[in-house]
Amino acid sequence: MAEQRYQAVLAVITDGRTVTETAAAVGVSRQTLHAWLAKYESGGLEGLVDGSHRPAGHPAQMPGAVEVAVLEARRRHPSWGPKRIAVELGRRGIVTSKSSVYRCLLRAGLVEPDGRRRRRRDWKRWERGRPNELWQMDVVGGFLCADGSHAKALTGIDDHSRFCVSARLMPRERTRLVCDGLTAALTRFGVPEQILTDNGRVFTGKFFAPPVEVLFDRICRENGVQHLLTQPRSPTTTGKIERFHRTLRAEFDTRRTFSSLRAAQGALDEWIGYYNTARPHQALDDATPAERFTARSTVQEPGSGSVNPVAPALPVGESPGATDRTDDGWVSRRVGPNGIVCVDWQQVSVGKHRAGARCDVLVSDQLLQFWIGEELMKTVTRTSSGEVRKKHAQGSRPGH
């Protein structure tokens, strides 16, 4: 093509033929031939070669400094996607969009073309409606210490806010260590209405023969927490805690070796503080878990105009103003968020509006009397623990 243009230009310049005659012979317009003459005059033979049609500039083109910042963020954090990079750069005052970051990474060959189906605009992630309504808890391993031992961690997150309520390292997975971690979480962050776990032996004795109440179940019962279990071999039921484990392994880097269990716990606590208070969470519209956990830390009673704070995780017997009853036959319980008080496997409701209050129970051979302060709330017939356990066992069998 360049050779044909060159011959047409020579016909005009060297042979003295007119532009009209030469253009007709070549099969182009006079304006095109004039353009070839101008390109030849300014650039010689190279000027007649086809060039790129890409414009020299574009008002929407990403500035070079921003592109460098995008690629540097991706290099330092390979797990970050376009949305996360855009949010982190925005915190530093570098304004860009998710789509611009994606195109930048695509040009650099760092992401694949997005051929996935787009999510529906009305799609909504399943989650509980407020903090401390449900915790998901599990045990995760993989923390290597210098002495060759592998520690495990009791982890827990709030279903509504993704706030991490527990990240307690243990030298081994034992019932007492797991329950110490649970008690610490309840004391620090309050008592949830429900806790969801898998069917591990440290969490439940449902599959023992015969079924028994393990310490984890007992702590939940005495604090009025409903303990939910996943279906066997169904890890997606606790999907949020499993996704948290994936983030923990990638960002905290569990492949490194720690000098001791205490050093590992200190490093883990530091990362959990960053995760809860500084790290944007894409499932929360880039808010931090702490912002959502504290923003809705109060619950409203249905039909009332007042807002009551979430009940703190006070140990049994610390409710202010409760009557001191230390004689034989008296036991103390704290009313759970669902209004339930449990005594020797027997569950009795005293009302949700009493959640968090101390309840003193007079236990006799035939009756249970539930007192809150000086008020007698309820008197019920006592059922022996053996009968209650038998009913629980029958209820867990197929066909009951």
Which residue would you say has higher pLDDT here, 84 or 393? 84
| Per-residue model confidence as pLDDT tens digits over 39-58 | 888 888 888 888 777 777 77
Are 181 and 85 contained in the same domain? no
Last residue of a domain, one of 245, 272, 293: 293
- Give the three-state DSSP class for 148: coil
The answer to whether residue 118 is domain-embedded is no
The answer to whether residue 299 is domain-embedded is no
The answer to whether residue 164 is domain-embedded is yes
Name the token pair of 281. Answer: 């969470």
Name the token pair of 4. Answer: 């044909």
Confidence at residue 122, expressed as pLDDT on a 0 to 100 scale: 61
Q: Is the pLDDT of residue 299 over 80?
A: no
Q: Is the pLDDT of residue 309 over 80?
A: no
Q: Is the pLDDT of residue 397 over 60?
A: no
| pLDDT tier, 191 (very low <50, low <70, confident <90, very high otherwise) | very high
Last residue of a domain, one of 247, 265, 293: 293
Residue whose tokens read 């539930």:
370
Q: What is the mean pLDDT of residues 241-268?
A: 92
Q: What is the mean pLDDT of residues 290-319?
A: 47
Confidence at residue 320, expressed as pLDDT on a 0 to 100 scale: 38
Q: Is the pLDDT of residue 330 over 50?
A: yes
The answer to whether residue 280 is domain-embedded is yes
Beta strands in 278-345, from DSSP E residues, in sequence order? 298-300, 307-309, 330-334, 340-343
Are 239 and 211 contained in the same domain? yes
Confidence at residue 232, expressed as pLDDT on a 0 to 100 scale: 79
Which residue would you say has higher pLDDT here, 319 or 163? 163
The answer to whether residue 123 is domain-embedded is no
Are 247 and 347 contained in the same domain? no
The answer to whether residue 309 is domain-embedded is no
The fraction of the chain above a pLDDT of 90, given in percent, is 33
Are 188 and 334 contained in the same domain? no
Average pLDDT of the chain is 82
Are 13 and 37 contained in the same domain? yes
CATH of the domain at 218: 3.30.420.10
Which residue would you say has higher pLDDT here, 400 or 103? 103
Sorted by sequence, the CB contacts under 8 Å of residue 373 that are 6+ apart come out as: 321, 322, 323
Are 250 and 280 contained in the same domain? yes
The answer to whether residue 117 is domain-embedded is no
Q: What is the mean pLDDT of residues 123-149?
A: 88
Which residue would you say has higher pLDDT here, 78 or 324? 78
Q: pTM for the whole thing?
A: 0.58
Q: Is the pLDDT of residue 228 over 60?
A: yes
Q: Is the pLDDT of residue 123 over 70?
A: no
Q: Is the pLDDT of residue 282 over 80?
A: yes
Helix (H) or strand (E) holding 354: none
What φ, ψ does residue 262 adopt, rounded to 5°?
A: -65, -40
Are 95 and 40 contained in the same domain? no
* Residue 251 DSSP class: I
* Residue 342 DSSP class: E
Q: What is the mean pLDDT of residues 238-253?
A: 91
CA distance 98 to 88: 11
Are 171 and 71 contained in the same domain? no
Are 80 and 167 contained in the same domain? no
Q: Helices marked H in the chain — which ranges? A: 2-13, 19-26, 30-43, 64-76, 82-91, 98-107, 175-189, 215-222, 239-247, 261-277, 289-295, 385-395
Q: Judging by DSSP bridges, how do beta strands 226-229 and 194-197 pair with one another?
A: parallel
Confidence at residue 184, expressed as pLDDT on a 0 to 100 scale: 93
Confidence at residue 255, expressed as pLDDT on a 0 to 100 scale: 86
Name the token pair of 172. Answer: 């081994």
Name the token pair of 166. Answer: 């527990």
Task: Give strand pairing partners of 137.
Answer: 156
> Would you state the torsion angle of the CA atoms of residues 104, 106, 109, 111, taken in this order, to the nearest 10 degrees?
120
| Per-residue model confidence as pLDDT tens digits over 147-169 | 999 999 999 999 999 999 999 99
What interhelical angle do 30-43 and 19-26 show, nearest 10?
100
Are 42 and 143 contained in the same domain? no
Confidence at residue 52, expressed as pLDDT on a 0 to 100 scale: 78
Last residue of a domain, one of 269, 293, 317: 293
Q: Is the pLDDT of residue 296 over 60?
A: no
| pLDDT tier, 234 (very low <50, low <70, confident <90, very high otherwise) | confident
Q: Is the pLDDT of residue 116 over 70?
A: no
Domain that holds residue 28: 2-48
Confidence at residue 380, expressed as pLDDT on a 0 to 100 scale: 85
| pLDDT tier, 257 (very low <50, low <70, confident <90, very high otherwise) | very high
Confidence at residue 389, expressed as pLDDT on a 0 to 100 scale: 52
* Residue 62 DSSP class: P
Are 20 and 72 contained in the same domain? no
Number of domains in the chain: 4
Are 262 and 286 contained in the same domain? yes
The answer to whether residue 119 is domain-embedded is no
